[in-house]
A and B are shown apart, each in its own frame.
Chain A
């Protein structure tokens, strides 16, 4: 098991006209990462290729959100979301991620393609407390599964009260 970087309170921002591109196979292993990805995350190509994409998963992110991500992709739909990622040196960066399944001519999913742009500060301010509460719920629940279910319920109720779903919510926040 690879040693996880210790998170520290230092934010890295993507440039105005930059975006991170990465590709994974169906199991989530990285098959391609662009140079912006490497520069921001601090990992080299050799450290990334063939490795699970969750190498950059930040502990502040609720598991329920990744569950939502995978559930959406399994339906062969694209996913939008705000994600806080962890750099090799422990600093973090916020992105607005768009992940689409790679579908071949026979309609099979052969991998995933992700474009991630800098998340606007107003959006980060909105989602941060929601994620914090979801993480709190997950930790407070008896087990991992129950935690995810509870946090998902919380998010669902919140979105329902605003008469929206996560994708619309995210797209609106991105502006």
Chain B
């Protein structure tokens, strides 16, 4: 397709005219000189005027063509302008008077146009990339151009507000989604823990109930034993009194026996006397009557003594009966106590076992509570991170709260120096916690750092922030899982130890 301007192009009239004029200026004086020479004869002076005119024509041709050339370049630049190329200029128009002025006016007009278009292009290109701080600079531009840039800046301000609002919405949405999703699962973990703690505590309560029942039953048993023991004491006291009586009776028996001994002695002496008298008298048996009287009296006393002994023995027998009866009662009491004591022993064994179970379960519950507590602390840490990252200026306190490292947060203290270390450091999963926990802190710190930057001017920052928070959540999930593992391992270990010790004792 041909250019319309080419089709209707003006002929290079000026150039032709100049060429004609210059040719005329050379040819006319030369022709006139030739005619004069032919008519009036040759003279050297005749060539002076043609020469001068030729020189003048030559200079004019050169000078005018320089102007024409400049005009040609101006035309070229204007043509380019019409095609939207404003970066061409007309240079080297030194000392060209009006033409030079036109060239410079054109140049400076183009400077303005180029400055204007560049400003427009640049600010909107950069705004498209989210860089709204670059405003159009209208300084030095005239009238409409400057106004136009002013409106462009107003438009940019509105664009920026929209953009920032969009970004803010996007950030808060992303963070909110991320947080809600994870918060629910985190809370579910805590809920699971609490359910476990509740179940364990139910066991503990049941054990404690059983203990209380057993204890009250045992108390009734103990009362009975106490009563029996009191009876036994009374019986034993009465037995002692009986034995005392017995002892007194024995004394009497001994006394009585000494009388009998005395009688026996005297009887034997009398018998001896009688035998001596009998031997000496022989035929005089009169003396026997006296001896026989004495022996008779002795036998009477012996009889009395025997009666007395028999009486004493009778009473002795009664005492022995009484003792044996008492003893029988004591034995019965002891027999009655035997099963009671056995029950006691069993009960106390049960008590002991129940107490162990209670301790184990209570410790499990305590550990699970500890674990829940650090989980909640950890969740709070993350919530603070969300608040701080979503608006660092408004949430300075939360920012400070999450600035701590993984040794100084509550979980860290629990893990490195507190109950966590004390209770769990021997477990296989204990070591696994450190790395993800450190990761949570590192990601949160990095996200906050990014949030401090001007994310409103850089949409990639938002993606980076959200990515960093996702990383934090990933590490956090690991932390939660490892805390669970630690708890489970610890409970399993305690059950195992409990079993081993009960096997050893049985």
Please give the residue numbers on chain A whose beta carbons come within 8 Å of chain B beta carbons, in ascending order: 17-19, 21, 23, 31-32, 34-35, 44-46, 49, 78, 98, 100, 102, 113, 115, 117, 163, 168, 171, 174
- CA distance in complex: A60, B337 (Å): 113
Among B135-143, B320-328, B465-473, the one that faces the other chain is: B135-143
A46 touches B111 (CB 8 A): no
A163 touches B452 (CB 8 A): yes
- CA distance in complex: A163, B392 (Å): 14
Considering the complex, which residues of chain B in the window 289-314 have a beta carbon less than 8 Å from any beta carbon of chain A? none
Decide if B91 is an interface residue (CB 8 Å cutoff): yes
Task: Report the minimal beta-carbon distance from A170 to chain B, rounded to whole angstroms.
Answer: 11
A45 touches B94 (CB 8 A): yes
Decide if B192 is an interface residue (CB 8 Å cutoff): no
- Chain A residues near B107 (CB-CB < 8 A): 32, 34
B94 touches A117 (CB 8 A): no
Decide if B87 is an interface residue (CB 8 Å cutoff): yes
Q: How many A-B residue pairs have CB under 8 A?
A: 52
Task: Report the minimal beta-carbon distance from B53 to chain A, rounded to whole angstroms.
Answer: 33
- Chain B residues near A32 (CB-CB < 8 A): 89, 91, 107
- CA distance in complex: A44, B92 (Å): 11
Q: 10 interchain pairs (CB within 8 A)?
A: A17-B140, A19-B111, A23-B87, A35-B104, A45-B94, A78-B122, A100-B122, A117-B139, A168-B133, A171-B133
Q: Which partner residue on chain B sits nearest A14 by CB separation?
A: B140
B137 touches A45 (CB 8 A): no
| A49-B115 contact, Cβ under 8 Å, with A17-B142, A34-B107, A171-B133 | no
Task: Report the minimal beta-carbon distance from A175 to chain B, rounded to whole angstroms.
Answer: 10
B137 touches A117 (CB 8 A): yes
- Chain A residues near B114 (CB-CB < 8 A): 21, 113
A35 touches B139 (CB 8 A): no
- CA distance in complex: A46, B92 (Å): 8
Which of B104, B107, B135, B139 counts the most chain A CB atoms within 10 A? B139
Q: Which partner residue on chain B sits nearest A15 by CB separation?
A: B140
B87 touches A113 (CB 8 A): yes
- CA distance in complex: A17, B91 (Å): 23
- CA distance in complex: A34, B140 (Å): 13
> Which of B91, B108, B134, B140 meets A49, CB within 8 Å?
B91
Q: Which partner residue on chain A sits nearest B89 by CB separation?
A: A32
B111 touches A21 (CB 8 A): yes
Task: Report the minimal beta-carbon distance from B431 to chain A, rounded to whole angstroms.
Answer: 38
- CA distance in complex: A21, B92 (Å): 16
B115 touches A21 (CB 8 A): yes
Decide if B118 is an interface residue (CB 8 Å cutoff): yes
B91 touches A113 (CB 8 A): no
- CA distance in complex: A19, B103 (Å): 18
Q: Which partner residue on chain B sits nearest A49 by CB separation?
A: B91
> Which of B118, B134, B140 meets A113, CB within 8 Å?
B118
- Chain A residues near B104 (CB-CB < 8 A): 35
| A19-B139 contact, Cβ under 8 Å, with A78-B122, A102-B87 | yes
Give 1 or 0 for each of B104-120: 1 = CB within 8 Å of chain A CB. 10011001001100100
Q: Which partner residue on chain A sits nearest B457 by CB separation?
A: A168
- CA distance in complex: A113, B142 (Å): 19
A23 touches B140 (CB 8 A): no
> Which of A31, A34, A113 meets B108, CB within 8 Å?
A34
- CA distance in complex: A35, B109 (Å): 12
- Chain B residues near A34 (CB-CB < 8 A): 107-108, 111
- CA distance in complex: A174, B137 (Å): 10
- CA distance in complex: A93, B142 (Å): 23
B87 touches A100 (CB 8 A): no
> Which of A100, A117, A171 meets B118, CB within 8 Å?
A100
Q: Which partner residue on chain B sits nearest A168 by CB separation?
A: B133
B91 touches A19 (CB 8 A): no
- Chain B residues near A102 (CB-CB < 8 A): 87
- CA distance in complex: A100, B115 (Å): 10
> Which of A23, A49, A78, A100 meets B92, CB within 8 Å?
A49
| A171-B134 contact, Cβ under 8 Å, with A17-B142, A46-B94 | yes
| A45-B142 contact, Cβ under 8 Å, with A34-B111, A98-B137, A117-B137 | no
B92 touches A45 (CB 8 A): yes
- Chain B residues near A174 (CB-CB < 8 A): 137
Considering the complex, which residues of chain B in the window 127-182 have a beta carbon less than 8 Å from any beta carbon of chain A? 133-135, 137, 139-140, 142
Task: Report the minimal beta-carbon distance from B134 to chain A, rounded to whole angstroms.
Answer: 7
Known: A32-B107, A44-B94, A78-B122. 17 other contacts (CB 8 A): A18-B140, A19-B111, A23-B87, A32-B89, A34-B111, A46-B94, A102-B87, A113-B87, A113-B114, A113-B118, A115-B118, A117-B137, A117-B139, A117-B140, A163-B452, A171-B134, A171-B135
